[in-house]
Structure 1
Amino acid sequence: MSTVPPSAVKAFDASTLEKTAYTSVANVPTREPNDRYRLGYSVWSFLSERKGTLDQAVHTAGARLLIPEADAVTAIRAELAKAGIEA
């Protein structure tokens, strides 16, 4: 029996919507990293489909945030604004 190394992960290009979404939530404190990934996916889904609001996307992500939701939305909006995206 042998163990093989895991597959290499190909990072998204910095200009993609996926990278922008996940970068925007990188500084939001969550209980576990998986909560941050879930939040990033929810923000990406909001940005790609533009259904609902950013507040709704953060709420429906169900991420266990260590700060109030309103503060998380403000932080995400600020990061998206730096990338030139109005949310």
Structure 2
Amino acid sequence: MNGINRLDIKQLRVLQALLDLKNLSKVARKMGLTQQAISEQLRKLRDLFDDRLFIRQGNSMVPTPKALSMQQPINDILDLLQK
């Protein structure tokens, strides 16, 4: 099964927030989750997309080219779902 077929909306929201905030703790606070829950979602996303998606650099998470390439499509999808 293609990884994208197993992707859920919660994971899209986590990925969008990570792309915006680039910090696991900030994303956790924004979403009302624990940092461990965000880390687990990131682990699942990494498995789904077979890419690290974010690389820790100090207190920040730097998106990989693959993560950056998904930013606009994810924003578009989530915007459509909110209408």
Q: State TM-score, norm by structure 1.
A: 0.34
Identify the structure with the greater strand proportion.
2
Identify the structure with the greater helix proportion.
2
Query: Radius of gyration: which is bigger?
Result: 1
